[in-house]
Structure 1
Amino acid sequence: MNFQQLARLDLAFSLLCLQHKFNQPVAKISRCISRTGDGHLYALLLALAWWFGHAANPDATDAQFSKSGLLAFAIELPLYWLAKNCFKRRRPHELSQLITLTFTPSDKYSLPSGHTTAAFMMATLIGQFYPPFYLLALCWAGLIGLSRILLGVHFITDVLLGAVLGIACAKVAMSLI
């Protein structure tokens, strides 16, 4: 499969997600879900873990969770920026026109999805340090990725690459702590 075929599949999937009579209400819900991945929640989770000190995993401490999270973000941010600026894949502007909500992405490139990267990175860390919450965190990360598609600002491959990048950054950070 070449890049043009992949781009056509991306567009077809996005159109399938957006061309229905409920796209406006779905976009409103997606916007709320997407906002949970803006970064504030991550800082809060890391601070709470550091403060309360109750790790579900007896071999790990909350300080390790916080340190792993900070290191994972330190690894992820430059890689995310480098990937965005190397791929320079334009956002799906024709798709965002299907949604009348005012929504301006923070940058003009779409690959990878930064919201998805951070969400899957945090879900992976939660899975390692707080296993009972892993399924919930994974579902939340998946919903963030889906919300980015339903808002018309990312293609599915942007989200998939973001998920892989986030998981990888978390794994590398945990191996170094």
Structure 2
Amino acid sequence: MRSFTAIQRFDHTVSTFCLSHRFSAGTAKIARAVSRSGDGPLYLVIGFTAWWLHEAVGFWFLLTGLTAFAIELPIYWVLKRSFRRARPSQLPAFITPSDLYSMPSGHTAAAFLMASLLSTFFPSLTLLVFIWASLIGISRVLLGVHFVSDIVVGAGLGLMCATLAHSITFDLYGITGI
């Protein structure tokens, strides 16, 4: 219980630092654009584009991605409803979140899931996609809708689901992605 208090204190300190300076509104404009790049529809576009550009590998990337999101979304909702952690309050929020709870960050989970799959199937993109996923997580804190620990749990969830989905598609179809 003591460690949870320390984590909560850390979370509130970081959020206060990120959201209580005179540059917060300007930073939020950039953070909003970064965050929007992690909205769900883009992932379908990436999947179908990969399939179109790289037929065989792209198809297995798309199949593995769909499997990963089929695993991730129910787990995300169960965790969200189980933790019921309130979003940051008494600090500015620069967007209106889609629900009341913050743990885990769904945007971060999806971004790290996609980054993991992209790096597995298209290794030359690894550095770029993990920087992008990290920026999405950071943007959620800078927008005032998540704490740092929400981002860490979301990233872990995304990585876990991508790994599990890749294992499932490999076991079922003998696909390694490369």
TM-score under structure 2 normalisation? 0.91
The residue type equivalent to 1:108 in the other structure is: L
Output one character per residue of 1:73-112: Cα deviation in whole Å (capped at 9) or x when no partner: 00000000000000000111222x2x5x4x2101100000
Find 1:159's aligned residue among 151, 157, 167: 151
Specify the alignment match of 2:72 in structure 1.
Answer: 76
**CA distance in 1: counterparts of 2:51 and 2:122, whole angstroms:** 13
Find 2:62's aligned residue among 56, 62, 66: 66
Sequence identity, in percent?
A: 50
Q: Does 1:88 align with 2:84?
A: yes
Give the SS at the match of 1:2: helix
Does 113-122 or 3-12 show the bigger shift?
3-12
Aligned length: 168
Specify the alignment match of 2:33 in structure 1.
Answer: 32
- Offset at residue 40 of structure 1 (A): 1.7
Find 2:112's aligned residue among 120, 126, 129: 120
Does 42-51 or 122-131 show the bigger shift?
42-51
Does 18-27 or 113-122 show the bigger shift?
18-27
Output one character per residue of 1:49-90: Cα deviation in whole Å (capped at 9) or x when no partner: 1222257xxxxx211100110000000000000000000001
Q: RMSD of the alignment, in Å?
A: 1.2
**CA distance in 2: counterparts of 1:32 and 1:62, whole angstroms:** 27
Output one character per residue of 1:105-154: Cα deviation in whole Å (capped at 9) or x when no partner: 01100000000000000000000000111111000000000000000000
Give the SS at the match of 1:17: helix
The residue type equivalent to 1:28 in the other structure is: K
**CA distance in 2: counterparts of 1:93 and 1:12, whole angstroms:** 12
Check conservation: 2:48, 2:58, Cα contact below 8 A. Answer: no
Alignment of 1:2-151 (within 5 A): 2-53=3-54, 61-95=57-91, 97=92, 99=93, 101=94, 103-151=95-143
Give the gaps of 5 or more residues in structure 2.
170-178
**CA distance in 2: counterparts of 1:163 and 1:111, whole angstroms:** 11
Give the SS at the match of 2:90: helix
Give the gaps of 5 or more residues in structure 1.
56-60
The residue type equivalent to 1:85 in the other structure is: R
TM-score under structure 1 normalisation? 0.91
